Amino acid sequence: MAEKMILVGGGLAGSLMSIYLAKRGYEVHLYERRDDMRQGNYVGGRSINLALSTRGITALEKVGLVEDILKISIPMFGRIMHSPEGALQYQAYGRDDQAIYSVSRGELNIRLLQLADAYPNIHMYFNHRCTHMDLDNNKATFQNENGEEVIVEGDVFLATDGAFSALRDAMIRNPRHDFSQNYESHGYKELEIVPSATGDFRMEEKALHIWPRSSFMMIALPNPGGNFTCTLFLPYEGEVSFEHLNTEKEIMQFFETYFKDAIPLMPNLLEDFKTNPVSHLTTMRTFPWVKNKSVLMGDAAHAIVPFYGQGMNCSFEDCVVLDKCIEEFSGDWDVILDAYQKSRKPNADAIADLALQNFIEMRDLVGLPEFLNKKRIEKMLVDQYPGLYRTQYERVTFSNDGYRDALLAGDKNDRFLNYIISEGLESRIEEKEFMQEKLQEWFA
Ligand SMILES: Cc1cc2nc3c(=O)[nH]c(=O)nc-3n(C[C@H](O)[C@H](O)[C@H](O)COP(=O)(O)OP(=O)(O)OC[C@H]3O[C@@H](n4cnc5c(N)ncnc54)[C@H](O)[C@@H]3O)c2cc1C
């Protein structure tokens, strides 16, 4: 008889992982706290749209969903920085054909659930909230919409219940189980740039827009409806912070000072600002990810800040790696789960660090001449020596290389760029023989 897999959480990672498991012939049971979002009652919750990149695309390719998802996505080929005076500066993300894709979280989740539903060996239970996990005896307790308790037994439990995972809560009560949670001093609020009267985009749609303001920023990602979802990242407290944005006058003055060019595009600004909550940003790390036959995946294992646009991509990659381990160590779940956690943990830590670093880059560095100069030199190197020099962004976003390798390579790139600048070698970048030798010396 097929082994019984229990997934706790039917969000992005859970719905995708259920398909991977079903394809391997397991009996899959997916329990989700919320109502079935396919019934049209999806109320958004966390961020409305997400940037999907190569790792996520690779994971979706394996279940045959890429074409469908790319059809409902908008490619963003670069970022456009908006200065306080309204001047625009474009920076390509990679080569001409390389883009990240803005996709609706709800639509993506719905497509995954629809595909999961096509597998007869996947059983889904909505309005089932996990309230207790007995890790030693492989039993989970759920509360259904009638308030009744349902106890479920299984062979393997996969915690895909997000950053505030109930299953992880049970795990970290065990001795020698590490867990840390760090909140950022910034929160975020979602706002909207609406379409024009004719339904068109009111800014360039094939780009991610950033208003970098040193200690805070606003970003905007396009949606297929012609609107942009804007996210304002701002400290909770301090001189310029959410705590001082209470009255309509304060809110408008703040936007007049920092985001003047966006005001005419945001007719619902005041309403949105007053209605939408300030949400929190947190990094959570934990280890081990496995206890007996239960395993953590996605945000339950590694909640990260959103500044590299990789939380979902990383969660999807977890599914790919676990699937590979299942194939490699067929049947032996102790070995499978251990191999999975050992492979993923260093990479999850690395993307958590990279995401924190990228916040500083996005809100502050992208506005500084020294940083832009480094980016310009990098672009010359990438254009002229594509195989020999690769940017950190390219490794993280447009490749399936380990995040840890990308982190280390980025540090080395930075040292190399400092060397080029300090030794005055920029003028020699076009000298093929000389520069190839340098690049070999540093990167071979
Ligand atoms: C502002 C913001 C912007 C982001 N932008 C990006 C981006 O551009 N690109 C990117 O790759 N990532 C992005 N992310 C990260 C991304 O949202 C997460 O990494 C991703 O959603 C993780 O997927 P998951 O399935 O692990 O968790 P979730 O998507 O949170 O799913 C967890 C599911 O479990 C359910 N659940 C929770 N508790 C229980 C319980 N007790 N019992 C049963 N079910 C339960 C929830 O209802 C939910 O459906 C962003 C995050 C934020 C906050």
> What does the pLDDT look like over 265-311, one tens digit per residue?
999 999 999 999 999 999 999 999 999 999 999 999 999 999 999 99
Tally DSSP H helices, then E strands, for the chain: 13, 19
Which domain-ending residue is among 316, 339, 358?
A: 358
* 307 Cβ inside 6 Å of ligand 1: no
Find out whether the peptide bond into 288 is cis, omega within 30 degrees of 0: yes
Q: Is the pLDDT of residue 364 over 50?
A: yes
Residues 293 and 410 in one domain: no
* Nearest-atom index, ligand 1, CA of 15: 25
CA of 17 to the centre of ligand 1 (A): 14
Q: Which amino acid appears at position 309 of this protein? A: G
- In which domain, by residue range, is 257 found? 185-280
* 51 Cβ inside 6 Å of ligand 1: yes
Residues 175 and 235 in one domain: no
Mean pLDDT of 87-109: 93
Burial zone of 41 (CB within 10 Å; 0-12 exposed, 13-18 middle, 19+ buried): exposed
Closest to 102 (Cα-Cα) out of 272, 232, 229, 231: 229
* Nearest-atom index, ligand 1, CA of 129: 42
Give the end-to-end CA distance of the chain in Å, rounded to a whole number: 51
Using most ligand atoms within 8 A of CB, pick from 34, 50, 157, 316 the residue to mutate for ligand 1.
Answer: 50
Residues 199 and 248 in one domain: yes
Give me the long-range contacts of 225-228 (CB less than 8 A, separation at least 24): 225/195, 225/199, 226/194, 226/195, 226/196, 226/199, 226/200, 226/201, 227/192, 227/193, 227/194, 227/195, 228/192, 228/193, 228/201, 228/202, 228/203, 228/265
Q: What pLDDT is attached to residue 271?
A: 98
CA 201 to chain CA centroid, Å, is 24
* Nearest-atom index, ligand 1, CA of 131: 41
* 317 Cβ inside 6 Å of ligand 1: no
Residue 126: how many other CB atoms lie within 10 Å: 18
Would you say residue 389 lies in a domain? Answer: yes
Would you say residue 72 lies in a domain? Answer: yes
* Nearest-atom index, ligand 1, CA of 142: 42
Q: Is the pLDDT of residue 367 over 80?
A: no
Would you say residue 89 lies in a domain? Answer: no
Q: What pLDDT is attached to residue 327?
A: 97
* 187 Cβ inside 6 Å of ligand 1: no
Residues 73 and 141 in one domain: yes
CA of 242 to the centre of ligand 1 (A): 24
Q: Is the pLDDT of residue 243 over 90?
A: yes
d(CA 126, CA 19): 17
Residues 47 and 139 in one domain: yes
Residues 38 and 131 in one domain: yes
Would you say residue 92 lies in a domain? Answer: no
Mean pLDDT of 241-253: 98
Closest to 202 (Cα-Cα) out of 190, 192, 193: 193
Mean pLDDT of 18-41: 95
d(CA 128, CA 248): 41
Would you say residue 99 lies in a domain? Answer: no
Q: Which amino acid appears at position 238 of this protein? A: G
Residue listed under structure tokens 């609406």: 194
Residues 11 and 160 in one domain: yes
Q: What is the DSSP letter of 385?
A: -
Q: How confident is the model at residue 238 (pLDDT cuts 50, 70, 90)?
A: very high
Would you say residue 244 lies in a domain? Answer: yes
Residues 164 and 23 in one domain: yes
Q: What pLDDT is attached to residue 433?
A: 96
Q: Which H helix or E strand runs over 296?
A: strand 294-296
In the chain, the number of structural domains is 3
Q: Is the pLDDT of residue 230 over 60?
A: yes
Token reading at 319: 């599914």
> What sections of 300-402 are H helices per DSSP?
311-328, 333-363, 369-384, 392-397
Residues 44 and 127 in one domain: yes
Residues 274 and 311 in one domain: no
Residues 153 and 37 in one domain: yes
Which domain-ending residue is among 280, 295, 328?
A: 280
Using most ligand atoms within 8 A of CB, pick from 15, 46, 127 the residue to mutate for ligand 1.
Answer: 46
CATH code, 33: 3.50.50.60
Residues 245 and 328 in one domain: no
Nearest CA, atom 1, ligand 1: 47
Would you say residue 408 lies in a domain? Answer: yes
Q: How confident is the model at residue 44 (pLDDT cuts 50, 70, 90)?
A: very low
CA of 107 to the centre of ligand 1 (A): 14
* 402 Cβ inside 6 Å of ligand 1: no
Which domain-ending residue is among 280, 300, 326?
A: 280
| C-alpha separations of 75 from 206, 342, 367 in Å | 6, 34, 24
